[in-house]
């Protein structure tokens, strides 16, 4: 294990976690801010992160390229409710197969904050308020997400892109006060 990779990965995930925590606090999601992504420090995720660390993108992508899957990602998305992949299950109508379930509002908001923090972490000075939207558009064709969750995710990412962070956080606080979408 390279020391540079250890400290680089630790620094990257910690920086990301702190960004998410600060922004969760801005909308009143204190517990989620504190608990966000703790599984990244577990041996299953952390050791893979160190091994595949590059600094400019998720180590899960490199693990997936080498192995054909990412064990760290499978562990992560199964333990963190702010990922839409956590909410995939068989439909009660088995003919529909796997479907995305409607995510609770607080996790959709954490997901948006997570996407912002990930883009800020990996893009650095090249980050703009459009970056999370641009990444979403790249991955949208491959996503399995409930229609109402997808619509809210798009609404929030477009609001960030078009009107900026302050308007986004104001809107998210209003949604949380209302309690549903």
Considering the entire predicted model, what is its pTM?
0.94
Burial class (CB within 10 angstroms; exposed 0-12, middle 13-18, buried 19+) of 110:
buried
Q: Point out which residues pair with 99 in neighbouring strands.
A: 89
pLDDT of residue 162: 98
Per-residue pLDDT of the chain (181 residues; tens, 9 = 90+): 578 899 999 999 999 999 999 999 999 999 999 999 999 999 999 999 999 999 889 999 999 999 999 999 999 999 999 999 999 999 999 999 999 999 999 999 999 999 999 999 999 999 999 999 999 999 999 999 999 999 999 999 999 999 999 999 999 999 999 999 9
What's the structural domain count of the chain?
1
Range of the domain at 86: 3-178
pLDDT of residue 4: 80
pLDDT of residue 21: 98
Interior/surface letters 16-29, b for 16+ CB within 10 angstroms, e for the rest: bbebbbebbebbeb
98 φ, ψ (degrees, to nearest 5): -80, 135
């Amino acid at each position: 294990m390279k020391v540079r990779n250890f400290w680089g990965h630790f620094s990257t995930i910690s920086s990301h976690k702190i960004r998410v925590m600060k922004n969760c606090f801005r909308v009143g999601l204190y517990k989620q801010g504190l608990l966000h992504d703790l599984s990244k420090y577990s041996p299953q995720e952390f050791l893979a992160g160190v091994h595949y660390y590059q600094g400019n993108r998720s180590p899960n992508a490199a693990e997936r390229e080498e192995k054909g899957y990412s064990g760290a990602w499978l562990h992560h998305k199964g333990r963190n409710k702010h990922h839409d992949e956590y909410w995939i299950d068989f439909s009660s109508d088995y003919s529909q197969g796997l479907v995305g379930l409607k995510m609770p509002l607080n996790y959709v908001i954490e997901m948006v904050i997570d996407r912002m923090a990930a883009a800020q972490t990996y893009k650095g000075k090249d980050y703009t308020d459009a970056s999370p939207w641009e990444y979403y558009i790249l991955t949208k064709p491959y996503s399995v997400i409930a229609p109402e969750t997808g619509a809210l995710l798009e609404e929030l990412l477009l609001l960030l892109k078009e009107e900026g962070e302050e308007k986004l956080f104001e809107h998210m606080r209003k949604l949380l006060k209302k309690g549903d979408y």
